[in-house]
Structure 1
Amino acid sequence: MSVAFSGKSGEVEGDGWNLMATDKCYDYGWRSKRSACLIGAAVVCLGLLLLTVILVANNTSAINQWDTKYENLISELTKGRDNLRDERDQLMIQSSNLTKEMEILQSQYSAVVASRDKLQEELNKLKVNGTGLACRKGWIQFNNKCYFVSAHGVTKNWQNSRKDCQERGADLVIITTKAELDFVKRSYGVTWIGLSRSGDGTWKWVDGTNLVGAGFWQDGEPNNVDGDEDCVEVSRSAAAWNDVPCSRQFSWVCEE
């Protein structure tokens, strides 16, 4: 709003209206005119002052509102930042746990792969036959079992014969059927088998089990004639068992 004073007329003008007309000031005389003009000016000043106060108050309120909004925004951003930090920390913990689980699973997977490869290797060694049984090279298959017969001309005592079998991953043969007895005795005139007398006088197989039943002894055997006949051999001619000293030198048969 603009305010102007006219020098000629003695009027105070502002945007198209007169604050105090000259003729009104003269209507009351000189003193009255001066008083009236002063009052008008005072009113104008008060109006301007009031307008200024209103404008300042409005500006102060707007600034305060902006400060409040700004503070609220900062508070929200700070909370959002803190929440993101918490989520980041949780994700880092989860990532670490997942890494450990992955390492365990990788180890288990490697073990499974190794086991699979071993089984595949064994499967590749299997011969195509009715039983699916495969015997190693140099071994003989008979009734779903694999046997190793010592070389011709090579003999050992009972303990060393068993040691040879164990070094091959097997043990001296355990005979449980007549068919198996006939198979073993046809290789050599005399053959060691995996039966011996224990310290308490009982006959035991190399797997630790006791001899069950009458067995396949020759007539009159076992007789322990020499007092140290603690090991058993199979005679081709008799097709039966005989107890003899373990120090004797015979061929042998291993069984897997």
Structure 2
Amino acid sequence: MAETEFAEHIYGNVDATQCSNLDEDNVYANQQTITTETRDERKTEGGKFTGGDTTEVKYYRVAVVSLGLLCFLLLAVIMSVGITGTAERDQLRNEIQLQQLMYNNLTQEKDQLQALNTNLTQEKDQLQALNTNLTQEKDQLQANNTDLTQENNKLLGIIRWTCFGSSQYYISSEQKTWADSKQHCMNLGAHLVIIDSEEEQRLIYTQGKRAWIGLSDSETESIWKWVDGKVLGDSGYWMKGEPNDTNGEDCAEILPQKEPLASWNDESCRKEKNYICEKAK
């Protein structure tokens, strides 16, 4: 109640005439003043915004230019690295191709050498087989030759053997040392001739060649023995003055140009002469 009265008191004191008589020009003046102030404030605020925008634009432009330069430098580096990498890649590719070519050539050479080695190995094996065959053929031919030689000697021996009494005699056409002559007679199944009688001495004398007989003193000097081990004794058909053992003459030979009953001579056993073999019929 008190509040109502207070309000009425306040608003009751207001003069309605005064309110109605307000000058319309003052109202518009106040409105213009307010509008002007508002514009000034906006200008002032607009001026502040414009100044700040200019600084930020400068910074923005510097940043853009710096970023552009950085991008350009980065692009230049990338291009340089790319060019260098491309050159190195091309060089590496060329080296790889060269190495591949060399590898292919070496592989071909290796294959050729392996093929050549295989061919040479085959040829070596063939030559070894051929050599083996030839060696076998040579051995066979040598064996055949030995057999033929023995047969030929037998045939020649048959032709050359001379019969007398109970013995056969072979008079050689080749010359050998006394020891070789003894061995050859043994190979023929005979021995160097042993003269047991005057008749046999005369027969051997007539063969007409200077030849070895089966008599020597090589075991004991001055003790003459026949090849069968029998000692000659005091008998013999020596030439005058023989045997004299000149220069180690230890083997006996017969000389047909002397007297038939004086035709033996001692001679060096190392000399080569004809020889006479004897065997039983």
Q: Which has the higher contact order (CA 8 A, sep 6+)?
A: 2
The interval holding the TM-score normalised by the smaller chain is 0.3 to 0.5
More helix by share: 2
TM-score by length of 2: 0.40
Higher gyration radius (CA): 2
